[in-house]
Structure 1
Amino acid sequence: MEASEPRRRRPAIVAVDDEPAVLAAVARDLRRQFGERYRIVRATSGAEALDALKELVTRGEQVALLVADQRMPGMAGTEYLVEARKLVPDAKRVLLTAYADTEAAIQAINEVDLDYYLLKPWDPPEEQLYPVVEDLLTTWEAGAALESGGVRVIGHRFSRDSHDLRDFLARNRVPMRWLDVERDAEARELLTMTGVEKEGLPVALLEDGTVLEHPTVRELAERLGVSVAPTAEHYDLVIVGGGPAGLAAAVYGASEGLKTVLVEREAPGGQAGMSSRIENYLGFPSGLSGSDLARRAVDQARRLGAELLTIQDAVGLTAEGAGRLVELSGGSTLSANCVLVASGVSYRQLTVPGFERLTGKGIYYGAALTEARSCQDQHVVVIGAANSAGQAAVFFSRYAGRVTMLVRGENLEKSMSSYLIDQIAALENIEVHTSAQAVLAEGDGHLDTLTIRDVNGERREKVDAAFVFIGAAPRTEWLEGVVARDEHGFILAGLDAKAAGWPLKRDPFLLETSVPGVFVAGDVRSRSMKRVASAVGEGSMSVSLVHEYLAE
């Protein structure tokens, strides 16, 4: 390395334990496995570790992981992690604890947003320590990469086109930097350098130097290689929809030898992928984000051999003999023996004056997590009462000064899990208004005011952003006249499909639709549970039914 070239510092793992022998053992094990990629920083107390963190932050260095012993004099591990989170909020947090302290560790999951707790001693570390730490670091690295560079998008915060580009890049986990032309001097400097006028916004600056003025999502996807073409003329299984059900089917289909392709019109994860935190999914005691769940599933499906086509929408289905043809929005057609419809649902649009005009300009459907940091210290309204609304309210409370929930019903208990209700009640900056609804949205170019109606009448409130979660509309218009659906558009399966007109002598399989060889799973199925775990279960089960169908 030339003397003039600055040496890139490795991200830090900060370990703290008041027992020198234990601290030395922790540092030794971490250094042996992760020392080439990370710098191991040691501290013998919470106070000493906080001083080290302040110095790292001052120098502009990254901190990837905090490892803290629970039983330390002066400052317990959980107390230290509370303070450390204020300095390095994106670092992963691990608590070291003895078996007798597991209750405290479980409680810390909620109190300090703990990512994991490890029981001491671990032996061998290859089984008890390294897989856990590697998983946490991989998750941190994925988030750090998204924040560190890649595509630069310049635009107006309250521009629907700017929002669509940012949301697409974030949900497809493409590294991106967002530059608000109104707030960031760098944005204006880049526009001057590239010669782009404000009329050309939003603009995307790619890493190869390409400047795209006012690109569509599809144009940007094609330039980035996110949208790919199918590699085969015929598949065993075509999956329509990349939510939990579709991703589970892709994993199981590919792992069991089926030539599998998944088509997703927006981004892997579906509606669940927009969830800020899923806390009741089996096997993740500290919860995980929908984006993280989607990333893990996509990596798993691809590793096993499944193809994923994104920014493609299914627009038609035809049954020709033993073949099933899925027409795509790009003009191509996928041929398969079987089709699984796992296209999920979308949030219903509010038919309230002002909402359509201001959508993407302060009003958003779904969590729109890309907007969270822009809501710092602002007033955010969340409309809805299901788990997705509760998760969003908790997430936005970290940034917004005030979060107001508008609940149409009399309480949250009818539609929201109790763990979320408890979290919301414990957060001082969240207000829940029951029997309340928005009846008017106003603003000159972006949302400024909502008129809210409740049992006390109507009132106008200044609002900076509103996020809407009101019911689910199935994405099944493309199946009109082909597959039997219920009165709400959800797809009938099993005996329900038989009653709607079934052409064969045998009964349809449990998840089979009125068209033999076409199956359905997840939220788009009539009578489904509308839960992530049940969607994953149905997606997995559908592959077994596909095998039975192919064996006929």
Structure 2
Amino acid sequence: MGKPTILTVDDDPLVSAAISRDLRSRYAADYRIVRATSGAQALAVLAKLALRNQPVALIASDQRMPGMTGIEMLEQARAHAPNAKCLLLTAYADTDVAIKAINDIGLDYYLLKPWDPPEERLYPVIDDLLGDWRQANPDHTSDVQVVGNRWSDRSHDIKTFLARNHVPYRWYDVERDAEAHRLRALAEATEADLPLVLVPEGDALRAPSTLELAAALGLRTRAEQPLYDVCIVGGGPAGLAAAVYAASEGLSTVIVEREAPGGQAGQSAAIENYLGFPKGLTGSDLTQRAVAQASRFGAEMVLAQTVVGFETRGPVHAVLVDGPGEIEARAVIVATGVSYRSLGAKGLGELTGRGVYYGATASEASQCQGDDVYVVGAANSAGQAALNLARYAKRLVLVVRAASLEATMSRYLVERIRSAANIEVRYRSEVVACGGVGHLETLTLANRDTGVEDQVPSSWLFVFIGASPRTEWLGPDIVRDDKGFVVTGQDLLNAAQAHPWGLSRAPFALETSVPGVFAAGDVRLDSMKRVASAVGEGAMAVYLVHRYLATV
């Protein structure tokens, strides 16, 4: 297919030559740089590239051009290059138009002219856009291959683990793909061996655990040092922020994550109210950037390990994992977040992972093409998932217990849901039963006011309800409320009769009932349950770790 194309569009010959020159000097080794001097010419170039099946990575266009503005051209360009990143080059006077284009046509970024020096003003923007494009359009020659049944809960777990850890893979369904039977025969795999995972180097993995898969992929599954300054349990926004700040400030740092970095936020199709990203960004993108940042500063990340216990050993705390090994650290930050609560519907347990899912990744969304999909929940996570799934589903039904969405969902999401032609909201309703042989086939919905039930056909149910903290591993020494959320700071003093604070100093703001153990993010009692606040608490926890370490 050749190199991906970067297309520049500007009617001024000198500006056109300048940006083409700057782009060639940095990107010509990996991309083909093509120039156009008008919107019409650019669309003609894109049409030819589409006919040849040549990928377009980026279109960088001037806004003020005769005949067709840059925004008008970029909007029409979607028909020929739907996956290309769009960059608008504009003057300060046109910034309002550019910001509006972020919502109207999905503009990825706008850059004020002039862009000199390019090392500071142009290349960092282009690097980000091309990095995002590469992630969304990977080179498939070295992909992991997964052979299994789409209604298998274990196949679902494997695909979710790969997707959330940003490992490109190709999926072959034994019920639909001839290639699946060929690969299975070559590996001499039986039904019990599915899902079969073929890695570029190494033996075929037969129904592997996530720990076995992580090890085969070369992901770190064990800590490398005997003692750390700080161990962070949980790799969501709070944990990743803590890792970035701790490692950048010289603390030896390790994160332990049982599934994949990002937590619930990592599965979000769009985070649109996070500061500094006017177009918004996906949870996957935010996670990948944070992991790279933490790694650059030297933080270790241990994956596919479930933390099962905690001990205090004098000045050192030990985090115990499921299986051999443990991690010792002078301070611990608990950032395990929350998981979605189980839906109390008859028959649901047997169908979880077989059409019923808690949360949703991009792989699930694409598999719903042309189907009826049901989503349960009324918070932002449910709204974001509904909008993403609706891009593929024929019809999406959002099942809501309340009489409205406004009390629990951000206004921008409510407005988009209401304007989506294929999304229906069923208020004052709940799922009371699930049915199917081998996978989900029917749902029974009940009206909470009348009690009237009706059964509907569907193979897809995604659940986004409530929040249950992952704190059972902490043991009795860490004070929690009756729902399991960790009590910290001043709130500890209110529980002093049952769990007296043993030091002369007051507990630090995010400190738990065990000195030197801190909690950050959604796992903490009365936290905001927002990505930005979790990031802030992760950073604040490191500041408090420094204060604690100075006292011991």
TM range (shorter): over 0.9
Is the deviation greater in 358-367 or in 188-197? 188-197
What is residue 408 of structure 2 aligned with on the other side? 415
Aligned to 1:3: none
Q: 1:346 to 1:417 in 2, by over 3 A?
A: same
2:466 to 467, 471, 475: 471
How does 1:9-88 map onto structure 2 within 5 Å?
Answer: 9-88=2-81
Q: Deviations over 1:306-335 (max 9, x none)?
A: 111011121111112111111111321111
1:292 aligns with 2:285: yes
The CA distance in 2 between the partners of 1:174 and 1:393, in whole Å, is: 25
Alignment of 1:352-501 (within 5 A): 352-454=345-447, 455=449, 457-500=452-495, 501=500
Structure 2 residue identity aligned to 1:424: I
CA distance in 2: counterparts of 1:72 and 1:431, whole angstroms: 42
- What does residue 272 of structure 2 align with? 279
Instruction: Give deviations 1:54-94, integer Å, cap 9, x for gaps.
Output: 33233333221122233344443333333333443332221
Deviates more, 1:468-477 or 1:110-119: 110-119
Rounded Cα–Cα distance in structure 2 between residues aligned with 1:429 and 1:34: 41
Query: Mind listing any 5+ residue stretches in structure 2 that lack a counterpart?
Result: none
- SS of 2:431's equivalent in the other structure is strand
Tell whether the 8 Å contact from 1:268 to 1:298 is kept in structure 2 after alignment.
Answer: yes
- Cα 1:10/1:399, change in 2 over 3 Å: same
Q: 2:524: which partner in 1?
A: 525
1:4 — aligned with what?
none
Q: Which deviates further from its counterpart, 320-329 or 516-525?
A: 320-329
Moved more, 377-386 or 165-174: 377-386
**If the length of structure 1 is used for normalisation, what is the TM-score?**
0.95
Change (3 A) 1:464 1:110: farther
What secondary structure sits across from 1:335 in the alignment?
strand
Bigger mean CA deviation after superposition, 370-379 or 540-549 = 370-379
Taking the aligned partners of 1:266 and 1:147, their CA distance within structure 2 comes to 24
Checking the alignment, whether the CA contact within 8 Å between 2:214 and 2:221 is kept in structure 1 is no
CA RMSD of aligned residues (A): 1.7
Superposed displacement of residue 275, structure 1: 0.6
Partner of 2:540: 541
Q: Structure 1, residues 330-363: CA drift from partner, whole Å, max 9, x if none? A: 3211111100000100001111012211111111
Q: 1:431 to 1:77 in 2, by over 3 A?
A: farther
1:122 counterpart SS class: coil
Q: 1:377 to 1:45 in 2, by over 3 A?
A: farther
**Greater shift after overlay, 186-195 or 99-108?**
186-195
Contact 1:317 1:482 in 2 (8 A): no
In 2, Cα distance between equivalents of 1:25 and 1:76: 20
Asked if the contact 1:148–1:176 (Cα under 8 Å) also holds between the matched residues in 2, the reply is: no
Q: 2:263 aligns to what SS in structure 1? A: coil
Aligned pairs for 1:142-291 within 5 A: 142-145=135-138, 149-208=142-201, 210-291=203-284
Once residues 430 and 48 of structure 1 are traced to their aligned partners in structure 2, the CA distance between those partners, rounded to angstroms, is: 38
Distance 1:145 1:112 in 2: 24
In 2: Cα distance, 1:182 partner to 1:72 partner: 52
**Could you say what secondary structure the match of 1:204 adopts?**
strand
Q: Mean alpha-carbon deviation: is it higher for 174-183 or for 523-532?
A: 174-183
3-state DSSP of counterpart to 1:437 = strand
Farther off after superposition, 432-441 or 382-391: 432-441
| Greater Cα shift, 71-80 or 150-159 | 71-80
Question: d(CA) in 1 for partners of 2:390 and 2:64?
Answer: 30
1:5 maps to what in 2? none
Distance 1:152 1:241 in 2: 28
Question: Would the aligned equivalents of 2:344 and 2:432 in 1 still touch at CA under 8 Å?
Answer: no
Q: Distance in 2 between matches of 1:432 and 1:93?
A: 33
Counterpart-to-counterpart distance in 2, 1:395 and 1:95: 25
Instruction: Name whichever of 38-47 and 175-184 sits farther off.
Output: 38-47
* CA pair 86-218 structure 1, distance change in 2 beyond 3 A: farther
After superposition, the C-alpha distances for 1:155-207 in whole angstroms (9 at most, x for unaligned) are 11111111100000010111211112222222222223333234422111110
Whole-angstrom CA distance in 2 between matches of 1:261 and 1:450: 44
Residue identity matched to 1:545: L
Q: Is the 8 A contact 1:200 1:214 kept in 2?
A: yes
TM-score, structure 2 as length reference? 0.95
Q: Secondary structure at the match of 1:66?
A: strand
2:107 corresponds to: 114
Q: How far has the Cα of 1:146 moved from its partner? A: 7.2
Contact 2:211 / 2:305 at 8 angstroms: preserved in 1?
Answer: no
User: What is the aligned-residue identity percentage?
Assistant: 55
Question: What's the CA shift for 1:153?
Answer: 0.4
Q: Which runs of no fewer than 5 residues in structure 1 stay unpaired?
A: 1-7
Displacement of 1:147 in angstroms is 5.4
- Asked if the contact 1:498/1:514 (under 8 Å) is kept, the reply is no
CA, structure 1 residues 363+140, in 2 after alignment: closer, same or farther (shift >3 Å)? same
CA contact (8 A) 2:486 2:525 kept: yes
Most deviating of 455-464 and 116-125: 455-464
Q: CA-to-partner distance for each residue in 1:531-552, whole Å, 9 max, x for gaps?
A: 0000000000111111111111
> Contact between 1:450 and 1:460, CA under 8 Å: does it hold in 2?
yes
Distance 2:69 2:459 in 1: 39
Contact in 2 for aligned 1:146/1:176 (Cα 8 Å): no
Residue 209 of structure 1, CA deviation? 5.2
CA separation of 1:519 and 1:27: change in aligned 2, threshold 3 A:
same
CA contact 2:143–2:170 (8 Å) conserved in 1: yes
Per mean C-alpha deviation after superposition, the further-off stretch among 277-286 and 51-60 is: 51-60
Deviation (angstroms), 1:224: 1.2
Report which stretch shifted further, 141-150 or 434-443: 141-150
- Seen in structure 2, the aligned counterparts of structure 1 residues 453 and 73 have a Cα distance that, compared at 3 Å, is farther
Q: Residues 148 and 175 of structure 1 are in contact (CA less than 8 Å); yes or no, is this contact kept in structure 2?
A: no
- Residue 405 of structure 2 aligns to which amino acid in structure 1? L
**Cα distance, 1:381–1:76 mapped onto 2, change above 3 Å:** farther
- Structure 1 contact 254–260 (Cα < 8 Å) conserved: yes
Say whether 1:141 aligns with 2:126: no
Distance 1:148 1:279 in 2: 33
How far does residue 370 in structure 1 lie from its aligned partner after superposition? 1.4
Query: Does structure 2 conserve the Cα–Cα contact (< 8 Å) formed by 1:227 and 1:312?
Result: no
Q: C-alpha deviations, 1:200-242, integer Å up to 9, x for none?
A: 2211111025212222222111111223321111111010000
Higher mean C-alpha deviation, range 103-112 or range 63-72 = 63-72
1:92 equivalent in alignment to 2:90: no
Q: CA deviation at 1:148?
A: 5.5
Q: How many residues align?
A: 545
Distance, in Å, in 1 between the alignment partners of 2:494 and 2:25 is 63
| 1:551 equivalent in structure 2 | 550
Measure how far apart 1:142 and its partner are: 2.6
Q: Deviations over 1:427-451 (max 9, x none)?
A: 2111122112111112222222212
